[in-house]
Amino acid sequence: MTATEQLAARWEAVMMPTYGTPPVAIARGQGCRVWDVDGRVYLDLIAGIAVSVLGHAHPALVEAVCRQVATLAHSSNLAMHEPGVRLAERLVGLLGGDGRVFFGNDGAEANEAAFKLARRHGRALDRTGGRLQVVAAEGGFHGRTLGALALTGTPAKREPFAPLPGPVTFVPYGDVAALRAAVTDRTAAVFLEPTLGEGGVVPAPAGYLAAARAVCDATGALLVVDEVQSGIGRTGAWFAHQAEGIRPDVVTLAKGLGGGLPIGACVALGAAGELFAKGDHGSTFGGNPVSAAAALAVLDTIERDGLLASVRAVGDRLAVGLAAIEDSLVARVRGSGLWRALVLTAPVAAEVEAAARRAGLLVNAVQPDAVRLAPPLVLSAADADEAVAGLQVAVAEVGGATVGAASAAGAPGAGGGPPQDKGVR
Ligand X SMILES: Cc1ncc(COP(=O)(O)O)c(C=O)c1O
According to the binding rule CB under 6 A, does residue 106 interact with ligand X? yes
Which one of 198, 353, 383, 386 is in contact with ligand X (CB under 6 A)?
198
Q: Binding string, 122-151, against ligand X, x = CB under 6 A?
A: -------------------xxx--------
Sheet holding 339-344: strands in order across?
330-336, 339-344, 370-373, 364-367
We find the least distance from the C-beta atom of residue 17 to ligand X, in angstroms, to be 18
According to the binding rule CB under 6 A, does residue 254 interact with ligand X? yes
The catalytic position among 102, 106, 170, 255 is 255
Q: Binding string, 155-194, against ligand X, x = CB under 6 A?
A: --------------------------------------x-
- Residue 141: active-site member: yes
Q: Can you say how many angstroms the Cα of residue 272 is from the centroid of all Cα atoms in its chain?
A: 23
Q: Of 366, 422, 412, 395, give the one whose Cα is nearest residue 201.
A: 366
Q: How far apart are CA 135 and CA 215, in angstroms?
A: 11
Find the Cα–Cα–Cα–Cα dihedral 256, 259, 261, 267, rounded to 10°: -40
According to the binding rule CB under 6 A, does residue 229 interact with ligand X? yes
Which one of 7, 45, 108, 192 is in contact with ligand X (CB under 6 A)?
108
Residue 253 or 322 having the CB closest to ligand X: 253
According to the binding rule CB under 6 A, does residue 213 interact with ligand X? no
Q: How many residues bind ligand X (CB under 6 A)?
A: 14
Find the Cα–Cα–Cα–Cα dihedral 299, 305, 307, 312, rounded to 10°: 150
Q: Where are the beta strands (DSSP E) in 184-272?
A: 187-192, 195-196, 202-203, 222-226, 250-253, 264-269
According to the binding rule CB under 6 A, does residue 269 interact with ligand X? no
- Do the Cβ atoms of 34 and 362 come closer than 8 Å? yes
Which one of 36, 226, 244, 249 is in contact with ligand X (CB under 6 A)?
226
Nearest 5 degrees, angle CA 80-CA 102-CA 255? 110
- Do the Cβ atoms of 64 and 74 come closer than 8 Å? no
- Do the Cβ atoms of 69 and 290 come closer than 8 Å? yes
Q: Which helix (H) or strand (E) holds 44?
A: strand 41-44
- Residue 316: active-site member: no
We find the least distance from the C-beta atom of residue 337 to ligand X, in angstroms, to be 15
Which one of 84, 122, 194, 197 is in contact with ligand X (CB under 6 A)?
197
Residue 111 or 392 having the CB closest to ligand X: 111
According to the binding rule CB under 6 A, does residue 386 interact with ligand X? no
365: β partners: 371
According to the binding rule CB under 6 A, does residue 112 interact with ligand X? no
Catalytic (active-site) positions: 141, 226, 255
Please report, as ranges, the residues that interact with ligand X according to CB under 6 A. Answer: 106-108, 111, 141-143, 193, 197-198, 226, 228-229, 254
